[in-house]
Amino acid sequence: MRYVPIDPALFINNRKRLIKELKPASLALLNSNDIMPTTADGTMPFKQNSDLFYLTGIHQEESILLLCPGFCEEGKREILFLREPNEHLEKWHGHKLTKAEATAISGIKTVMWLSDFEGMFHHLMVMSGSENVYLNSNEHYRAEVVVETRDARFIKWCQARYPLHTYQRLAPILAKLRTIKQPQELKLMQRACDITESAFRRVLNFVKPGVMEYEVEAEYTHEFLRNGSRGHAYTPIIASGKNNVILHYIDNDQRCAKGDLLLLDAGAEYANYNADLTRTIPVSGRFTKRQKDVYNAVLRVQRKAMKLMSAGMVYFDYHREVEKLMQSELIGLKLISKSDLKNQKPGQEAFRKYYYHGTSHMLGLDVHDLGNMHATMAVGSVWTVEPGIYIKEEGIGIRLENNVVIRKNGVDDLMKNIPIEAEEIEEIMNSK
């Protein structure tokens, strides 16, 4: 474990909050993620199912959480099933959790080995009086599932073996719960943001004409790892020159040239929680007048967008207001005109040539975190604020992104200490 141990009270409380949302006479089950193969005997780094981690703090493959809150025996109301350690596993793959260690992490007193799962599950399904079985699935609004998950396989097995139970969806409940971050979660997210700040400051002192985009990526990676992060929260975007107008450019294989802008979209993961930062800097250490004018226009939109955010506001209403702010700035930059506005059609607004993505998304255990984008912004939810202007014909792509917590009155900026003023960025880059 690279991060400071998390107080199990977080996971205990999360399970209590979930149980309150279940119908009477219910049972709920969640699986860990699979270890995904590459080719031959290779595998990808393990990424835990965020819902299972949210409820247990367990970061180990082949783990199952079984909840049966109404069962008569207290010791069987919460059961965590783990892969049983053995000498062979330890020699080849290292340490696996003991029962005591799993209890210390999760706060779950009853820990059993996977070999006991089917018998115990059958016992609770037929003897607990549970009528409703809550199973988990990936229902994220951006999800394009092409790989069958452990949860999906379990749903097929369970419904085939126990066809007369009533099945319920866990996903909407967990999405609602995970939207509002607990104080401990916000501390972990702040740590992810602080590590990201350290890496960005390192990059400001590194970038100069001639460096490769992947060298810049390596500077981020170095600083993330040395601070206890497992690495990047998402595939980083290190986009110089013409690449900075491509929203999801991830090749990171071009040379940074004198006079170009370098768009940096990179954030650290810490304890499975994520930061999501974007800054745009001048490769040569100084913005041109035109670059700075566009940069400051984006910065003004971002700051006004933060002021617009408030508890009770619906994201899509907020985004439309940000688009109006951007429209005004684009007129000021002489990229669009008032006559363009008169002639535009709904869905084909003039500003969309230069600003063609959403302003915000939720953030947490997933970079595009769970939550209902059509619901009002909840107190305690965390959002990105990331306006941008992209002028392909001028080679100018600028995006600025911070992470904020919605409060009763306004927002808290988790990235308020990360340099963003054009002059401060120039000062740091020229103080090497």
- Which of 3.40.50.880, 3.40.50.450, 3.90.230.10, 3.40.190.10 would CATH assign to domain 183-429? 3.90.230.10
Q: Does the pLDDT at position 274 exceed 80?
A: yes
pLDDT at 80: 98
pLDDT at 141: 83
Confidence band (pLDDT; 50, 70, 90) for 143? confident
What is the CATH superfamily name and number for domain 9-178?
A: Creatinase/prolidase N-terminal domain (3.40.350.10)
Per domain, the residue ranges of the chain are 9-178, 183-429
Q: Does the pLDDT at position 218 exceed 70?
A: yes
pLDDT at 346: 87
The CA distances from residue 392 to 230, 241, 242, 330, in Å, are 35, 10, 7, 14
pLDDT at 147: 84
Average the pLDDT over 168-173 and give the result: 98
pLDDT at 1: 80
For residue 17, which amino acid is it? R
Average the pLDDT over 82-94 and give the result: 92
Confidence band (pLDDT; 50, 70, 90) for 159? very high
Average the pLDDT over 86-100 and give the result: 93
Domains 9-178 and 183-429 agree in fold: no
pLDDT at 432: 67
pLDDT tens-digit map of 359-377: 999 999 999 999 999 999 9
More confident residue, 363 or 140: 363
Pick the most confident of 86-90, 145-149, 304-308.
Answer: 304-308
Q: What is the mean pLDDT of the chain?
A: 96
pLDDT at 144: 75
Confidence band (pLDDT; 50, 70, 90) for 145? low
pLDDT at 322: 98
**pTM of this structure:** 0.96
Q: Does the pLDDT at position 8 exceed 70?
A: yes
pLDDT tens-digit map of 303-348: 999 999 999 999 999 999 999 999 999 999 999 999 999 999 888 8
Q: Does the pLDDT at position 146 exceed 80?
A: no
